Amino acid sequence: MASLVIQLGGSLSPPFSNTRSDVDSLYICIEPLLTRWPFNKLRQKALEVTMKHIHYEDENSRYITIGFIEKLASWVENPNGDYFKKYLARIPDYIWVAEDGMTMQTFGSEAWDTSFALQALIACNMTNEIGSILKKGHEFIKESQVKENLSGDFKSMFLHISKGSWTFSDQDHGCKISDGTAEVLSPLLNDATRNCWCKMESRQLFDAVNILRSLQCKNGGLAIWEPTGAAKWLELLNPIEFFADVVLEHETNEINNFITNAVRFIEDTQRPDGSRYVW
């Protein structure tokens, strides 16, 4: 998004929100007080707790993490420290030189992409012709499943169980997602492909289903990352300018209506010969 804004001369820069303005004003007024005794003691304790959570995520995501904030925080804490040095070993996961020059991504989407690719291939009803491709995809999916819960007392870190889930990228990442887990289960449970890959242990499938059940909300929807339950007013603290409703977990039962309407639109716009008018 940032590159797009730069290319267009900043014309797509999001408007400055009142929340951001209020937070900045509060920071300017309060930060000088928090650097003086006795408030600096409270500030130091808060920073220590924050870094404890960041380093916990570092270790359990094998230093891939969800974004760059953790890396920046560790660099500010100690640019020569072990935590930041371990981030450097993960640079090839984010940046590499391809045929068209320097390429960059976030933390990857390998498991997510593979699950949809397998579903598309299975829908072609050509399992005999592409059996080797399906087998390789299945092997990756099987190895990418999260085999254990997060280390230590993950509940004290306000985190949920993760054993049996799939992440957005691979097992190293360790950060489960409910929709990704459900998408992976779809090709794994397809009867048409059972001869194309090695059978998974029943316990592995049970653990995956258990994750989905544990993330179901009271209204029947599913949370994506963690169970819901936090106060709604916390969304007012959202510092992100271009994403709304990202501070809390939200039930996703409304997605069912979205999918139903989207499918109806796709069916209605298809031509008799199977094609669709793009523009």
Active centre residues (catalytic):
179
Write phi, then psi, for 126 (nearest 5 degrees).
-125, 40
Residue that the structure tokens 């094998």 belong to: 62
Give residue 246's Cα distance to chain centre.
12
- Cβ distance 64 to 107 under 8 Å? yes
Closest CA to 117 of 92, 99, 140, 145: 140
Instruction: Tell me the C-alpha to C-alpha distance, in Å, between residue 232 and each of 18, 177, 235.
Output: 18, 21, 6
**Distance (Å, rounded) from C-alpha 114 to C-alpha 187?**
10
Cβ-based neighbour number of residue 59 at 10 Å: 14
Q: Name the token pair of 209.
A: 């289903």
